[in-house]
Structure 1
């Protein structure tokens, strides 16, 4: 029976999740050459080709795909054993912009926990500005937020696209102020929307303000107002009314990861979360 090296199995799992030797090396705090050697050692030990690598693509072989779940279980069992000896558990505090993860947030957190059960995860959901303030104070280790005008740092994870959404029976006469809902006076979406309306010369009034994205979605669902929403959080039954109401287009916004995590295990866990986040966004379109 072949005995397995924990580091080599971790390299295989990380490459599989990142689909990149470069990102896997970064997540593990090492070099591409080092992880290539460890992967080769594991493949030789098992007598199987696990990863197929071309200049354009990194993917699992058929045997690699079959080995991935047992490999994750192996790493998780190892981490649980090591965690039993730890004096103090490791903590990872992450902030999420509410619409950035969408309805997949529970699945993302479950993926993170499965990757490292010994990690104590603290999740916070809030607006980008509040999350960035908490991150700058050191209250959060990492945040996934939309790009703010005054910041140029962070890793781009994707793009959030916006539109004006309302229920099909929502009506507005151009000689009246547009009734719209926003999450808070200082939220990025409200600022973006009011700038666009002002530039287009459209009078507006806030029929609903505050309570976060969930409250704005509720206001739209109730037919109280139109709202500037990311396409990922549109309530059931709502439609985009930009063309029908002749409302100005809303700019897309980049979704960024900011992190100060430095220890290899936490960085690897965070890269797993990022990989899962990107996978969900691709499937969601």
Structure 2
């Protein structure tokens, strides 16, 4: 009967998620050589090449693409079994920036619950600045935010690109200021747009401010205003209108995971969060 080594399967899944032997080694706290050895032993045991590796690319082989979900299920079952032996209730407070929280959050929370069912997960959604303040006060165990100007250290989960979005029927006459909708005056994404307009000498006015993301999306979808959105989170049915209205380009940012937790259980949870986030973004690309 074929038996699988947990660490070897974990190495395979990490390489597949991060598309890099080096990043997989960093995430697992080991060396690239050790990752390569574990993957080679796994491939020899299953009799299949699972990862295609070239000087420029690391990707799943056809056999690896078939094996990846069973491998995840195998690791999840192992984690549940181990958690059952050492289960004790624990609170994990996670902050997610409003302009970061997208469809991947469902995957992230489900994967975190699979990894450690004993965790009580508390999620706080707010703008990046408020979450970083809460994180600094020790109120959050981890925070997923847009990179702020302070350039503080954190684990980069991926790039974030922004655009000007509006309903297809949105109209703005040349002699009128651009009508904007935003979450709040403290919203960093709002600042990205307003600073770009100011630098370009384009007049603007806010016609919707606050009320939550649903209100902002409703205002934009109804054709009452335009707004700056992450390209992956723009409301369904809206279009990018920078060319149509001759609007300035917007700088990109990064999505970053911050945490100071060092115990193994917490580090495992953080690794689960990072992998789930990257996996969902890669699948949606």
**Which consecutive residues of structure 2, in runs of 5 or more, have no partner in the other structure?**
none
Alpha-carbon distance in 2 for matches of 1:126, 1:187: 9
CA-CA distance at 1:83 after TM superposition: 1.9
TM-score normalised according to structure 1 size: 0.82
For residues 33 and 112 of structure 1, what CA distance do their matches in structure 2 show? 28
Alignment of 1:59-70 (within 5 A): 59-61=59-61, 63-70=63-70
Seen in structure 2, the aligned counterparts of structure 1 residues 107 and 173 have a Cα distance that, compared at 3 Å, is same
Greater helix content: 1
Distance 1:185 1:29 in 2: 41
Does residue 32 of structure 1 match 2:50?
no
1:98 counterpart residue number: 98
Work out the CA distance in 1 between the residues paired with 2:161 and 2:84: 45
Give me the CA root mean square deviation: 3.0
Size of the alignment, in residue pairs?
Answer: 285
Identify the residue that residue 71 of structure 2 maps to in structure 1.
71
Moved more, 88-97 or 181-190: 88-97
Structure 1 runs of 4+ off > 6 angstroms? none
1:14 paired to 2:14: yes
Deviation at 1:188, TM superposition (A): 0.8
1:51 is displaced (CA, Å) by 4.3
Q: What's 2:159 paired with?
A: 159
- More moved, 179-188 vs 233-242: 233-242
Give the aligned partner of residue 113 of structure 2: 113
Give the C-alpha shift of residue 128 in structure 1.
Answer: 1.0
Residue 225 (str. 1) matches residue 243 (str. 2): no
Query: Following the alignment from structure 1 to structure 2, what is the Cα–Cα distance between the partners of residues 180 and 259?
Result: 34
The structural deviation recorded for 1:206 is: 1.7
1:89 deviation in Å?
Answer: 3.6
**Contact residue 27 and residue 264 of structure 1 kept, 8 A:** no
Matched, 1:181 2:168: no
Aligned to 2:133: 133
* Map of 2:246 onto structure 1: 246
For residue 107 of structure 1, report the CA deviation from its aligned partner.
Answer: 2.6
Q: CA 1:249 to 1:86, structure 2 compared with 1: closer, same or farther past 3 Å?
A: same
Unaligned runs of 5+ in 1: none
**Counterpart residue number, 2:281:** 281
Give deviations 1:9-64, integer Å, cap 9, x for gaps.
Answer: 43343333333332222222233344444445545555655445444444445554
* Post-superposition offset of 1:65: 4.4
1:220 shift after superposition? 1.0
With the length of structure 2 as denominator, give the TM-score of the two structures: 0.82
Alignment of 1:266-277 (within 5 A): 266-277=266-277
Alpha carbons 2:160, 2:254 under 8 Å: kept? yes
Partner of 1:194: 194
Indicate the residue corresponding to 2:259 in structure 1.
Answer: 259
**What is the CA–CA distance in structure 1 between the aligned matches of 2:66 and 2:171, rounded to whole Å?**
55
Preserved CA contact (<8 Å) 1:76 1:117: no
CA shift, 1:120, in A, is: 4.1
Question: Distance in 1 between the 2:164 and 2:53 partners?
Answer: 44
The offset of 1:191, in angstroms, is 1.9
